[in-house]
Amino acid sequence: MTYDKRMLKENIERITAEINGRATLLAATKTVPPKIINFAADCGIRVIGENRVNELLDKYDRIDRERIDIHFIGHLQTNKVKYIIDKVSLIHSLDSIKLAEEIDRRAYRADKLMDVLIEVNLANEVTKSGIPFEEIDIFVDKIRHFDNIRLCGLMAIPPKCENSQENSLFFNKISKKFIDIFHKKVDNSNIGILSIGMSDDYMAAVESGSTLVRIGSAIFGNRN
């Protein structure tokens, strides 16, 4: 895939201006080569999100990590945790106690406190990972007992909606739950991140209280 650097720079500047400091802009860099990721850093990107463990490992040494903070935003299998535990600052996709146990174990071995977000399945879609919305409080209560995991908030992808108003209903629902958890002062937590909103709906997410938006195609163009 060929990248138009002028357009990429314009996209980053436009989205940054639209967000206007209300949320962190994370560049979702699945399939994006390191040289383009580093150019995005020249344009102001400071946080990227990788979806695939093998791809992250392949790119890792060529990413300008002095300027770029790396998050893991894709589905994470327990047998892959060991490969990324020392390479990412935040895992967006905690979706089971089994995965929490493995993250906690690997973080302990790495002498690290691993920041995580609980992935929420807002509409209980069978094709998506995540904790059912109705079970968030129970899951939070279980997570707080892990010594090497620090809960930092929630992540969700809403179902495909007919219009932006319907989308906002899902965003508002998860935003209210995020605020509830924030006010509970959960042990082993630093609640402050609500990761909702992507290329097609990031402004609706920001209006609903998102503190971090994950933008891929709106920055880099449609992937092959």
102 — pLDDT class (breaks 50, 70, 90)? very high
pLDDT at residue number 3: 92
Concatenated DSSP letters of the chain: ----HHHHHHHHHHHHHHHTTSSEEEEE-TT--HHHHHHHHHTT--EEEE--HHHHHHHGGGS-TTT-EEEE-S---GGGHHHHTTT-SEEEEE--HHHHHHHHHHHHHTT--EEEEEEEETT--TTS-SEEGGGHHHHHHHHTT-TTEEEEEEEE-PPP-SSHHHHHHHHHHHHHHHHHHHHHT-TTEEEEEEE---TTTHHHHHHTT-SEEEESHHHH----
State yes or no: pLDDT of 13 exceeds 70.
Answer: yes
Give the whole-angstrom CA distance, residue 7 versus residue 17.
Answer: 15
Q: Average pLDDT of 2-13? A: 96
pLDDT at residue number 124: 81
Q: Average pLDDT of 19-30? A: 98
CATH number of 5-220: 3.20.20.10
Alpha-carbon distances of 219 from 12, 32, 36, 205, rounded to whole Å:
6, 11, 11, 17
Q: What is the pLDDT of residues 202-211, one digit of tens each?
A: 999 999 999 9
pLDDT at residue number 164: 62
- Residue 39 CA to its chain's centroid (Å): 21
pLDDT at residue number 219: 98
Q: What is the pLDDT of residues 111-132, one digit of tens each?
A: 999 999 999 998 787 778 899 9
Q: What is the pLDDT of residues 77-94, one digit of tens each?
A: 999 999 999 999 999 999
135 — pLDDT class (breaks 50, 70, 90)? very high
Higher-pLDDT residue of 52 and 186 is 52
Q: Residue 118 forms beta bridges with which residues?
A: 94, 154
Q: Are strands 114-121 and 90-94 parallel, antiparallel or unpaired?
A: parallel
